[in-house]
Amino acid sequence: MKTQVGIVGGGPSGLLLAHLLHLKGIDSVVLEARSEEYVIDRVRAGVLEQGTIDLLAAIGLDERVRREGLVHHGINISFGGVLHRIDMHELTGGRAITVYGQNELQKDLNLARRKTGRPVLHEVEGLTVRDFDSPAPRIRFRHEGIARELECDFIAGCDGFHGVTRPSIPASSIRAFERVYPFGWLGILAEAAPASEELVYTWTERGFSLFSMRSPAITRLYLQCAPDEDISQWSDDRIWNELNTRLTTRDGWKPNRGPVLQKGVTGMRSFVAEPMQYGRLFLAGDAAHIVPPTGAKGLNLAAADVYVLSQAVAHFYKSGSRTLLDQYSETCLRRVWRAQRFSWWMTSMLHVFGFGEDTAFDRRRQLAELDYLTSSRAAMTSLAENYVGFPII
Q: Which residues are catalytic?
A: 72, 201, 293, 297, 387
Cis status, amide bond into 182, omega within 30 of 0: no
Among 284, 34, 6, residue whose Cα is nearest residue 118:
6
Q: Which uninterrupted H or E stretch holds 110?
A: helix 102-116
Coil vs helix vs strand at 13: helix
Among 150, 177, 195, 203, residue whose Cα is nearest residue 347:
203
Cα–Cα distance between 298 and 48 in angstroms, integer? 10
Phi, psi for 27 (deg, rounded to 5): -80, 150
Per-residue CA distances from 78 to 204, 349, 364 (Å): 9, 12, 15
Coil vs helix vs strand at 54: helix
Q: Considering Cα of 307, then 311, then 335, then 389, what sign does the dihedral take?
A: negative
Neighbouring C-alpha atoms within 13 Å toward the C-beta of 329: 18
**Contact by Cβ (8 Å): 236, 260:** yes
Cα–Cα distance between 241 and 205 in angstroms, integer? 16
Among 79, 103, 112, 109, residue whose Cα is nearest residue 209:
79
Among 287, 302, 328, residue whose Cα is nearest residue 164:
287
The pairing of strands 97-99 and 70-72 is: antiparallel
Rounded to 10 deg, the angle between the 50-58 and 298-319 helix axes is 40
Residue 356: burial class (beta carbons within 10 Å; 0-12, 13-18, 19+): exposed
Other CB atoms closer than 10 Å to residue 268's CB: what's the count?
Answer: 21
Neighbouring C-alpha atoms within 13 Å toward the C-beta of 377: 3
